[in-house]
Amino acid sequence: MSDTTVTASITIAGETRPRVEFTPATVDLLRSLWDEHGPLMFHQSGGCCDGSSPMCFPAGEFITSDRDVLLGRLDIARPGSDAQPIDFWMSAEQFEYWSHTFLTVDVVPGRGSGFSAEAPRGVRFLIRSRLMTSFD
């Protein structure tokens, strides 16, 4: 099992702090899903608070719009391996609601969305959030 939390690169112009991280359990699951599906991406289009579930797709399977916000790019590669970047997108409407939060993506037992890549495994991704007090 991974013991490393992976934090996103900064992708929003003018910001100097990341907005998303993956827990070690999330990194492990994503590495397994990458082995099965190839490159991956996340999209968060709904949910109001902690406990919301972002959706994980093979990269390019979910088409983002010009209004979607790229919150960060996270590299789940093991040290010394080729990069395995995963983009984390959020709908513009959702970003307006969550614009002051830092998101931690975790994994918990339970059924997620039927369209999300982890669904057949009996687990789901889960958002844990905390208030960001500064963005620059």
pLDDT reading at 8 higher than 90: yes
Task: For residue range 71-110, list pLDDT tens digits in order.
Answer: 999 999 999 999 999 999 999 988 988 889 999 999 999 8
Q: Is the pLDDT of residue 50 over 80?
A: no
Which pLDDT score, from 0 to 100, does residue 122 have? 92
46 within 8 A of 94, measured Cβ to Cβ: yes
Q: What is the pLDDT of the chain when averaged over all its residues?
A: 91
What pLDDT is recorded for position 45?
81
31-38 own/partner pairs: CB under 8 Å, 24+ apart: 31/2, 31/76, 31/78, 31/84, 33/117, 33/118, 34/76, 34/84, 36/117, 37/117
* Domain segments of the chain as ranges: 26-131
- Assign 135 a pLDDT band (cuts: 50, 70, 90): low
**Given this model, what pLDDT does residue 47 score?**
60
Burial of 70 (0-12, 13-18, 19+ CB in 10 A): middle
The predicted model scores a pTM of 0.92
User: Residue 38 pLDDT more than 80?
Assistant: yes
pLDDT score of 49 more than 70: no
Mean pLDDT of all residues in 34-38: 97
Tell me how far apart the alpha carbons of residues 70 and 84 are, in angstroms, rounded to a whole number. 17
Find tokens 């391996």 and name the residue.
Answer: 81
